[in-house]
Chains A and B, each alone.
Chain A
Amino acid sequence: MRAQNSDMGLIVKTMARATIPLIGIFGAYVIAHGHITPGGGFQGGATIAGAGVLFLVAFGLSEAKEKINKNFYSVLEGIGGLVFLAAGMLGLGVAFFYNILWHKGPVFNGEAGTLLSAGYLSMMNLAVGLKVYTGLVSALFAIALFRRWKK
């Protein structure tokens, strides 16, 4: 069942094919460099969610229905929150949110300013980015599926 007029024309679709990977890569860059450059989990997650919105708008609801699995996205959002909490509890021997990886951890304790520094900060950025991306996409997908006024 292909809904009429629920997707854009050829030009918009082609441009979306070109730009969605770029937006995704930029968002991943913002998340991964959250402890070095401006940005972080929330901002990068919202950026990638923008790519998801572009996909939803350009290719229409019927195409998105095949690609977006609601249960999978819900599980990913929960996992993001749990990873954030687990990273906060790594240094529970000293205190909650004690950055043990930076002070005496085996990894993520490189020189400040490099990618593998700052302890659990990059882990938390990844978790929050995953959480924000999946949450925003599933919320927007739920809104897009809500079409009760048609009847």
Chain B
Amino acid sequence: MKTTFGALSLVFILGVLLVVANPNYGLKFGLGEGNWEEYRYTDQYYIEHGVEEVGGTNIVTDIVFDYRGYDTLGEATVLFTSIAGAVALLRKWRGEE
């Protein structure tokens, strides 16, 4: 019973996502000239000003380490926490050896 309900809700969510991803109702893929300016103006800003403002010619690194450095800091924190958790959980138990 529970499994059937779970499967049905998964199918429903998948259907909703398919409607959302339909270019006629929701997201558009392969944005062209006018749509680019309308939906991706932030990307356009990064592409135009990234090199002069940050200095790196790799725009992805410019964004990840300078414009959105907080995000990378959090990412490093997540990595640190996961490593610490893994190492802490995989230690020998108290009774062993």
Query: Given A97-B69, A148-B96 in contact, is the A128-B57 Cβ separation under 8 Å?
Result: no
State whether B54 touches A102 (Cβ < 8 A): yes
State whether A118 touches B55 (Cβ < 8 A): yes
Number of residues on chain B facing chain A (CB within 8 A):
31
Interface residues of B in 6-25 (CB under 8 A from A): none
Task: Determine which residue in B51, B61, B62, B73 has the highest number of CB atoms from chain A within 10 A of its CB, and name it.
Answer: B61
Contact of A121 among B66, B76, B86, B90 (CB under 8 A): B66
Residues of A within 8 A of B62 (CB): 35, 118, 121
A119 contacts B by Cβ under 8 Å: yes
Measured CB to CB, the residues of A under 8 A from B are 34-38, 40, 42, 70, 74, 77, 81, 84-85, 88, 96-97, 99, 102, 108-109, 112-113, 117-121, 124-125, 128, 131-132, 135-136, 138-139, 142-143, 145-146, 148
Per DSSP, are chain A's interface residues mostly helix, strand or loop, or mixed? Answer: helix
State whether B73 touches A135 (Cβ < 8 A): no
Contact of B55 among A42, A117, A131, A142 (CB under 8 A): A117
Residues of B within 8 A of A96 (CB): 69-70
State whether B56 touches A138 (Cβ < 8 A): no
- How far is A81 from B78 in the complex, measured between Cα atoms in Å? 11
